[in-house]
Amino acid sequence: MTSIQSVLAAFAIILIDLLGRAGLDKVLALTGGPAMVALWAQLQSVVELVSAVTMAGVLQGLTVLITQVSESRDERSLLRDALKLGLGTSLAVALIVALAAPELVVWLTQRRLETDLFLLAALAGCITVVPATLNAYWLGKHQQQRMLGLALLTSVILLLVAASAWFGLSLRGLMWVQSLMLAIIAIVIWRYLHKLSRVRDGQQDGAEYFRKLVKFVPVGLAIGIMSPVSMLLVRGMLSGTLSWSDVGFLQALWRSTEWVTATAAGVLSLIFLPRFSATYGSARFKREMTRAGVMVLIPAACLLLLIFFNQRAMLATLYDARFVVSNETAALIMLGSWIRIASWLFLFGLFSAHRTGLIMAGEILSLPLYALLLWLFADGMTLERTALLYFVSYLVYLGFNAIALLYSSRKTTIAQREVGYE
């Protein structure tokens, strides 16, 4: 189902992304310090806010549905509908961000950023949808090798942004570099997608798959809006209760765990989501879930422990010697990160089951819950408390996702038995 070449390509894609982000963060830390790292992260959360409403919804649906169809005509219809629906969703969110930008820069950055930077970030988020659509299509067809080529191409963007930061460009200049490079790549990919999805032999496909994709839109809005907005709120609140430098330290610690969390998310998405989607409702689904748990959770625990025991050296290497947190803070963030990975295992199971309502309900119990807890316990806030609340919020999220998938699986099994008796 998944070749060795596809698995290796998936790991290479993850590694390229991690190296690109780490290199850029290192340059930002050296040239601008912890505050620069935190403010760039705020802008990238705006990019994610606009793009993730599509990537976490419509494009996840595209991957799942492509895996489950066999006719090339159906694939073309899915790709065409996903591109239209995805761009429309992200454009709507980008418009809202643009209208609210003057208030957002005050609320979320204490005027440390200008309004036009939020507009550029929203634009970059819209453009990101185009290459992401091609990625989702190739993933559904198990073509991770092609995705690797696209990852190498888009990594040039991070390389150029890092080079621009090294030569002293401001945040505004960096956002322009990111947006322009994204636009150039997106134009090329758009032409390819148009060719790939065009109607052949004069046949027009019906609206069946469009309706199926629409079901994933609320999921994308829930995850795509709640997660980036929550991170924007988290950084904004902590900059007031602590400082932008402390936010930069916390951001650096999260980035250090991303070597594990992003790898785990990539393995679950690039390798196991297509497998979950192809086997859901059969006895093989449970075996795939068990295999994913063993392959992801055990190595993740070992690697997070390794990071914890070497966290000071790692932060100094990835950033510089100013980036220091307590052992208690690091331990709770590592534990919370492992719980977060475990919750994703069940989340991708819910995606394969098309349980969009449960996914949306559970999303409230992740980063939004974390933001709420930070607000409720803001008095006397410390980095240690922020880490503890991070752990607690994802423990709740893990419990919900596990129960939701168990409920969905049992409901599917009962439905299959009733059909068999008829």
Alpha helices of 310-382 — where are they, by DSSP H? 311-318, 327-352, 356-363, 367-376
Continuous segment of H or E residues that includes residue 268: none
Write down the pLDDT at residue 46.
92
Write down the pLDDT at residue 414.
72
Residues contacting 377, CB < 8 A, separation 6+: 385, 389
Residues contacting 30, CB < 8 A, separation 6+: 320
pLDDT in tens, 180-220: 999 999 999 999 998 887 765 545 555 777 888 888 888 88
Nearest CA to 368 out of 187, 171, 227, 190 is that of 227
Write down the pLDDT at residue 355.
85
Nearest CA to 83 out of 64, 108, 55 is that of 55
CA angle (155 as vertex; 151, 160 as ends), nearest 5: 160
pLDDT in tens, 70-94: 677 778 888 888 999 999 999 999 9
Write down the pLDDT at residue 202.
47
Write down the pLDDT at residue 151.
93
- CA dist 389 and 95 (Å) reads 33
Q: Decide if pLDDT at 421 tops 90.
A: no
Write down the pLDDT at residue 271.
83
Considering only 120-124, 211-215, 259-263, 366-370, which range has the smallest mean pLDDT?
Answer: 211-215
Percent of the chain having pLDDT more than 70? 95
Write down the pLDDT at residue 57.
86
pLDDT in tens, 340-356: 999 999 999 998 887 88
Burial 74-95 (b: 16+ CB within 10 A, else e): bbbbbbbbbbebbbebbbebbe
Q: Give the single-character DSSP code of 198.
A: -
pLDDT in tens, 140-196: 888 888 999 999 999 999 999 999 999 999 999 999 999 999 999 999 999 999 888
pLDDT in tens, 259-306: 999 899 988 987 888 888 888 878 888 899 999 999 999 999 999 999
Q: What is the pTM of this model?
A: 0.77
Confidence of residue 226 (pLDDT cuts 50, 70, 90): confident
Please count the other Cβ atoms lying within 10 Å of the Cβ belonging to residue 210.
16
Mutual orientation of helices 311-318 and 283-309 as an angle, nearest 10°?
90
The answer to whether the beta carbons of residues 372 and 314 sit under 8 Å apart is no
Write down the pLDDT at residue 405.
92
The answer to whether the beta carbons of residues 43 and 173 sit under 8 Å apart is no
Would you state the structure tokens that stand for residue 408, as one six-digit string? 């969905």
